[in-house]
Chains A and B, each alone.
Chain A
Amino acid sequence: MTFTPCVPLLATINAMRPVFMIVMGAFLLLTIWRMTRGTHGWTPKVLMAGAILLAFGYSVVLPLYHADVLPKLSQVGFFSPNSDVAMGWHIVKLVAMNGGWMLFGLGLAMHAGIFETEKSPAPVESPSTSPFHGPAA
């Protein structure tokens, strides 16, 4: 049994891609954790939920698919009798990746204030000086 280090294999893009995805997923989670540390409310919760889903998808599920540990649903066949495992992991991948991007995008949109209207720069009269809306006197 030979045990030579396979440097050419490691240097190919195909072999580097799972490593890249694992590192990126972990770094994404770390960055979001540092960003939301010490804050309260729904925005950090949504951001953190999305980041956890994405980190799980990118650093666990996709590399396992890439390494052929998990069976692909398209190869097993949807209607074959032993498609249960493939179907389960397919659902996990769908939910983790798509739900992760959805929650992450929603959290960052809440963080950036997409759903809030900008304050109007027009001067607003104070109600006490307005002759129409003031208290009846």
Chain B
Amino acid sequence: MDLLLEILLTKTFLFDAFGVIGLGLLGLAAVRLSQRYQSWGGSLLSSGALLLLLGRLMALLRPQIFTPGLQDALGRSMSDVLLLAPTALMTMGLAGIVWGLWGHEQWLREER
């Protein structure tokens, strides 16, 4: 297989960067919506985007940071919490984003 394609697909850095940039843009846009237009869905949307971004970054960085040495140093329960945290964060973030988007849609409907 072509080397460039192989790097793109196995390391997935470029795709992950796209996802993280998109989430950052989403958070920025949500902050702007809640600050400038006083849309209540915007603040919920921004917190959801923040949670999702945090969870995504944790999931992406886990292979680098979460080494067996750290796992031993932290102990069983703490490392379990750290392992489960990205999933919980991403679940809450997705819920926040969808709820905030719904709220923003309701706000748009009232404004029109």
- Is B102 a contact partner of A27 (Cβ separation < 8 A)? yes
Chain B residues lying within 8 Å of A21, measured Cβ to Cβ, are 94
Chain B residues lying within 8 Å of A109, measured Cβ to Cβ, are 25-26, 28-29
Number of A-B contacts (CB under 8 A): 88
| With A31-B105, A109-B29: A24-B98 Cβ-Cβ less than 8 Å | yes
- Among A36-87, those with CB < 8 Å from B are 50, 58, 78, 87
- Is A98 a contact partner of B19 (Cβ separation < 8 A)? yes
Task: Give the distance in Å from the alpha carbon of A95 to the alpha carbon of B12 in the complex.
Answer: 10
Interface string of A18-29 (1 = CB under 8 A from B): 001100100110
| With A94-B15, A112-B32, A114-B32: A35-B104 Cβ-Cβ less than 8 Å | yes
Chain A residues lying within 8 Å of B10, measured Cβ to Cβ, are 78
Size of B's binding interface in residues, CB under 8 A: 32
Chain A, Cβ-Cβ closest to B17: A98
- Interface class of chain B by DSSP: helix
- Among B74-112, those with CB < 8 Å from A are 87, 91, 94-95, 97-98, 101-102, 104-105, 108
- Is B94 a contact partner of A105 (Cβ separation < 8 A)? no
- Among B12-44, those with CB < 8 Å from A are 12, 15-16, 18-19, 21-26, 28-30, 32-33, 36-37, 42
| With A24-B95, A31-B101, A32-B101: A111-B19 Cβ-Cβ less than 8 Å | no
- Among A78-137, those with CB < 8 Å from B are 78, 87, 90-91, 94-95, 97-106, 108-109, 111-114
Known A104-B26, A111-B29; further 20 A-B contacts with Cβ < 8 A: A24-B95, A24-B98, A28-B97, A28-B101, A31-B105, A58-B94, A94-B15, A95-B15, A98-B16, A101-B19, A101-B22, A102-B25, A103-B22, A104-B22, A105-B22, A106-B22, A108-B25, A108-B26, A109-B26, A112-B42
Question: Which residues does B use to contact A, with CB under 8 Å?
Answer: 9-10, 12, 15-16, 18-19, 21-26, 28-30, 32-33, 36-37, 42, 87, 91, 94-95, 97-98, 101-102, 104-105, 108
